[in-house]
Amino acid sequence: MTMNAYDKIYLDDAMSNLGVMLDYGAMTYGDAEGFFNRFLVSDISREFAVGNPRYVAGLSGIELAEKVIEKTGGTPRYADYRTFGRSATYWAGWSLAYLQWHTGYAFEKLHERGIDIPFLLALYPTHHEADLSKLVDTALEKLDPAGAQSPNALKRQRKAAGLTQQELARRSGVKLRMIQAYEQNYQDITKAEVGSILRLARTLSCHVEDLME
């Protein structure tokens, strides 16, 4: 069982800052993957992963990038940088911050399991305008292919109905975070409130028993 890496109040800042950090770092110091590897070997990645307020919210993304360069033996260049919407590189950093928060895994562990910058950049065309639940589904399949091959009952029924997690939450009135927790086995759906189970079954046009493992 995994849990969120730190309090959600820091999440928006963390996502924005990691997105800017990666975008600025790639623009100023070469390429996104190379810069992110510097982030991984610095202690900043570990402090960021546990929600140290100084790194997830206290510094700007540009300041984070410069700190990464300093920590890995480089010389900061302080280039001019403006954000005009989300670039693919920005989105890769932004989405990676969310995945790290959501799974509670260290950046190094995500990287070892294939959730890296090339993987996220490849997802950009199909995922950057979609709900984050689609990104989570794709990442979890990468992290746990065995689990992806044998999804739990709720996920099977949702997929069969052609719904995303967000759509199921909106139609059923069951909170998105609870649907995610049930599908990823963070929470036991058999212990859910009866009303929630009934709403899910009604929305998915299935029997309550079909949602139980």
Buried b (16+ CB within 10 A) or exposed e, 143-160: beeeeeeebbbbbbbbee
What is the rounded distance in angstroms from the CA atom of residue 94 to the CA atom of residue 97? Answer: 5
Please check whether residues 103 and 135 belong to one and the same domain: yes
Q: Does some domain include residue 3?
A: no
Q: Does some domain include residue 92?
A: yes
Please check whether residues 141 and 156 belong to one and the same domain: no
- CATH number of residue 162's parent domain: 1.10.260.40
Please check whether residues 172 and 92 belong to one and the same domain: no
Q: Does some domain include residue 206?
A: yes
Please check whether residues 12 and 61 belong to one and the same domain: yes
Please check whether residues 98 and 73 belong to one and the same domain: yes
Q: Which two tokens stand for residue 77?
A: 């260049």
> Is the pLDDT assigned to residue 142 strictly greater than 90?
no
* End residue of a domain, out of 130, 146, 162: 146
pLDDT band at 44 (very low <50, low <70, confident <90, very high): very high
Q: Does some domain include residue 1?
A: no
Buried b (16+ CB within 10 A) or exposed e, 67-84: bbbeebeeeeeeeeeeee
**pLDDT at residue 145, as a whole number:** 59
What is the rounded distance in angstroms from the CA atom of residue 111 to the CA atom of residue 131? Answer: 22
What is the rounded distance in angstroms from the CA atom of residue 201 to the CA atom of residue 211? Answer: 7
Do 59 and 12 touch, CB atoms closer than 8 A? no
> Is the pLDDT assigned to residue 1 strictly greater than 50?
no
> Is the pLDDT assigned to residue 149 strictly greater than 50?
no
* End residue of a domain, out of 114, 146, 178: 146
Q: Does some domain include residue 53?
A: yes
> Is the pLDDT assigned to residue 146 strictly greater than 60?
no
The count of structural domains within the chain is: 2
Please check whether residues 64 and 163 belong to one and the same domain: no
Please check whether residues 36 and 95 belong to one and the same domain: yes
**How many angstroms separate the first and last alpha carbons of the chain?**
17
Please check whether residues 110 and 126 belong to one and the same domain: yes
> Is the pLDDT assigned to residue 55 strictly greater than 50?
yes
* End residue of a domain, out of 146, 161, 194: 146
Q: Which structural domain, as residue segments, surrounds residue 89?
A: 8-146
Q: pLDDT per residue over 62-117, tens digit each?
A: 999 999 999 999 888 877 877 666 799 999 999 999 999 998 899 999 999 999 99
Q: Which two tokens stand for residue 93?
A: 């950093």
What is the rounded distance in angstroms from the CA atom of residue 121 to the CA atom of residue 68? Answer: 21
Q: Does some domain include residue 2?
A: no
DSSP letters along 69-102, please?
HHHTT-----------S--HHHHHHHHHHHHHHH
Please check whether residues 38 and 129 belong to one and the same domain: yes
